[in-house]
Amino acid sequence: MTPTASAPTLSAAPTDQPSAPSSAILATYKRAPMLITRGEGVRLFDDTGRAYLDFTSGIAVNALGYGDPGIARAIEQAMVSGLIHTSNLFRTTPGEALAARLVDLSGFAQRAFFCNSGAEANEGAFKIARKWGRALGGPAKHEIIAVRGGFHGRLFATVAATDRPAYRLPFRPLVPGVHIVERDLGDLETALDRDTTCALIVEPIQGEGGVRVLEPALLQAMRRLTQERQIAFILDEIQCGLGRTGHLFAFERAGVQPDMVTLAKPLAGGLPMGAVLMTQPFADAMAAGDHGTTFGGGPFVASVALHVLDRLADPALLAHVRAVGAVMADGLAAIQARTGRVRAVRGTGLMWGVDVHEPAAAVIERARGLGLLILSAGEHTLRLLPPLVLSREDALAGLDTLEQAITTG
Ligand SMILES: *Cc1c(COP(=O)(O)O)cnc(C)c1O
């Protein structure tokens, strides 16, 4: 084919400048400039020895902080068997034990599917819902509905369910049959169709979309509608689940039970792991060969996850999250009242969003300069996701630094 004048050339200017020009890593992230060399508790250290109080937890992954001795022991013990990976062609004990434990703790599920990330868990849930929907209502029952402000991952079906134009537009065409609807009961009443919808996916607390806590009444109405219309109700608890709200599952707060729940971020203590928990009818829809993964649920990650899950399910840890969460709630409300620079505060447990007038990136940079690491969730929203083992004292210290960062602009 002869190139035409209008054809884009391979040397077209990149739209994003890499933040660290010396790095050979593809610049899909704007990385902070310091070089992280060590972690301990709720602190990270750079190569100059400078400490940072970490309210990012590797994006909601490091629930137990850094250098946790229990995780270190679990890793050592997992190595004793000599099994890091066997493939899913063989049975191993850790994966079976982890599935049983998750199913038991969930209070609703009968089966677990393991994979390696959050997006993979949601893609798996979508495939399970489609196969189930097809068996129930024929090929027309395949549409997946997601809601405004949702984030479900960066793969083709999950990005189609993700409400961020910048994540979607450059990659069209996305997976067909995936739609985004307003977070509104009336709109959902219209959109959720018994004959054509197979699944509704929502985050009980939207993370990337600005830390929006869905009203229990809305989640309950979603549950009622999906039940009446035989639509799979999938809760994406990849960010808000596994203890972050002060409950093992965020859905417990709303008093609803889903048909499937997806998990990932904190599940294996920083090792990559995702999971889909589902009720029996969804498990029954899937037969051998319908879905797969080479790595998912391997003995090494599953052993570590078993340890992490035990720790996260500990009622004492969950009570601690609720208590320190209350400290955060009070502290953030006080910052809002004192500074006049905070438009809104949203969240629960150890998951908080703070709307500011100026660009979030500017506050994040000042906070980093003051030794506090925080995230954004949209242009003007700061997001706080500290490790769940955060002490009251460190919570107060972090709030103090945050207030400084907000006011020194
Ligand atoms: C992070 C996240 C995902 C995607 O997880 P990856 O492991 O990055 O693929 C999906 N859903 C929610 C709610 C998330 O926060």
pLDDT tens, position by position, 183-200: 999 999 999 999 999 999
E strands present in 245-363: 260-263, 274-278, 342-348, 351-356
What is the average pLDDT across 116-122?
98
Can you tell me which residue has the tokens 């999950």?
158
Determine the pLDDT at residue 3. Answer: 38
- Label the pairing between strands 372-373 and 178-181: unpaired
Interatomic CA distance for residues 297 and 92, integer angstroms: 9
Region for 296 from its dihedrals, namely left if φ exceeds 0, alpha if ψ lies in -120 to 50, beta otherwise? beta
The residue-averaged pLDDT of 305-334 equals 98
- The phi-psi region of residue 362 (left if phi > 0; otherwise alpha if psi is between -120 and 50; otherwise beta) is alpha
Task: Report which protein residue has its CA nearest ligand 1's atom 6.
Answer: 118
pLDDT at 13: 42
Residue 12 confidence (pLDDT): 41
Nearest ligand 1 atom to the CA of 155 is: 9
Residue 126 has pLDDT above 70, yes or no: yes
Where residue 319 falls among pLDDT bands split at 50, 70, 90? Answer: very high
Distance 81 CA to ligand 1 centre (A): 31
- Ligand 1 centroid to Cα of residue 203, in Å, is 10
Rounded CA separation 53/45 (Å): 9
Amino acid at position 205, single letter: I
Look up residue 363 and give its two tokens: 């506050």
Rounded CA separation 328/386 (Å): 11
Query: pLDDT band for position 22 (50/70/90)?
Result: confident
Confidence (pLDDT) at 409: 81
Instruction: Give the span between the Cα atoms of 212 and 210, in whole angstroms.
Output: 6
User: What's phi and psi for 342, nearest 5 deg?
Assistant: -115, 125
Predicted local distance difference test score (pLDDT) of residue 21:
53
List the residue whose alpha carbon is closest to atom 11 of ligand 1. 152
The span from the CA of 325 to the CA of 308, in Å, is 20
Q: Are 109 and 115 in contact (CB under 8 A)?
A: no
pLDDT, position 1: 36
84: its two tokens:
């890091």
Residues 47 and 61: their CA atoms lie apart, in Å, by 22
Between CA 162 and CA 84 the distance in angstroms is 33
State in Å: Cα 9 to ligand 1 middle: 33
Q: Is the pLDDT of residue 6 over 80?
A: no
pLDDT band at residue 297 using 50, 70 and 90 as cut-offs: very high
The dihedral over CA atoms of 167, 169, 173, 179, expressed in degrees to the nearest 10, equals 70
CA of 130 to the centre of ligand 1 (A): 20
pLDDT (average), residues 309-316: 98
Q: For 46-81, how does the pLDDT look when each residue is reduced to its tens digit (9 = 90+)? A: 999 999 999 999 999 999 999 999 999 999 999 999
- CA-nearest residue for atom 8, ligand 1, is 118
d(CA 134, CA 136): 5
Query: What pLDDT, on a 0 to 100 scale, did the predictor assign at position 216?
Result: 98
- Pocket of ligand 1 from Cβ distances under 6 Å: 117-119, 122, 151-153, 203, 207-208, 236, 238-239, 264-265
Checking if the pLDDT of 360 tops 50, the result is yes
CA of 238 to the centre of ligand 1 (A): 6
CA-wise closest residue to 165 among 180, 184, 176, 175: 180
pLDDT value at 19 more than 80: no
| 2 has a pLDDT exceeding 70 | no
What is the number of residues in the chain?
A: 409
Mutation choice for ligand 1 from 123, 152, 154, 245, CB with most ligand atoms inside 8 A = 152
CB 152 within 8 A of CB 201: yes
Using a pLDDT cut of 70, give the percent of the chain over it.
95
Q: Higher-confidence residue: 10 or 392?
A: 392
